[in-house]
Amino acid sequence: MRKRIVFITIVVTLGVLTVGGAVLGATDGGDRDRAARVARISGTSRTPCGTGFDTQTFTNIPPDDSTTDNTPAGTVTLKKTCPGAVIGQFTSEVATPASGDFLHVDMRATCVGAAGLANPCTPGQQVFASPGHSFFQNGQAALHTGAINMAWDGLPRGRWRFEVLPGGNNSANLQFRSFVVEAFAG
């Protein structure tokens, strides 16, 4: 009987926590007022090789199709403590209001310092991610969310700045967006 009471208490407690968590985490999904409270959230986490993220809420309208000199749509700087692959994942709301609108992206990593590590990257070294220059949206479309992943293979240790570089036609734009970078050994 005692085991049954303990079991029932655990089940009821888990149920209350689950429902309470769902109620606390619920939003209406269309709350654009959060943009007034938070314009940008970014950070890093200490993992064996490095992880970071950048979240932005202002609209980025690439003025031309030259990605390398336009304002980055996301930037993460982190200390990469082991050599190996890095994955960049970019997600954004996309608006292409006219029939000729387009957006494309590149992802670039730039070594900004040795960070006191053995066998580091060379400051100023730049590496573009694969598969490379890719269309993110081409042609008119309703506001929607798009995502793209790219990879850097075999980046050495060091402090790296990872950027999402957009190109466009001065009309198509990126709105609420996130850029996540994960570094792996090997």
What is the model's pLDDT at position 48?
64
Q: Which is it for the CA torsion 147, 103, 176, 164, positive or negative?
A: positive
Provide the 8-state DSSP code for 71: P
Residue 74 maps to a domain: yes
Instruction: List the 84-96 sheet strands across, edge first.
Output: 40-45, 51-56, 173-183, 84-96, 141-155
Residue 16 maps to a domain: no
Whether the Cβ atoms of residue 128 and residue 156 lie closer than 8 Å to each other: no
pLDDT in tens, 30-76: 444 444 444 555 655 555 688 999 999 999 999 999 999 999 999 99
**pTM for this model (two decimals):** 0.76
For residue 147, give the CATH number of its domain: 2.60.120
What is the model's pLDDT at position 86?
95
Residue 106 maps to a domain: yes
What is the model's pLDDT at position 152?
95
Domains of the chain: total = 1
What is the model's pLDDT at position 45?
52
Residue 148 CA: distances (Å) to CA of 35, 104, 133: 23, 10, 11
What is the model's pLDDT at position 173?
95
- Domain boundaries, position 150: 30-183
Residue 66 maps to a domain: yes
What is the model's pLDDT at position 43?
59
Question: Distance between CA atoms of 87 and 155, rounded to whole angstroms?
Answer: 11
Whether the Cβ atoms of residue 102 and residue 87 lie closer than 8 Å to each other: no
What is the model's pLDDT at position 67?
92
- Which positions of the chain have pLDDT values less than 70? 1-48
Residue 7 maps to a domain: no
Residue 17 maps to a domain: no
What is the model's pLDDT at position 5?
44
Residue 89 maps to a domain: yes
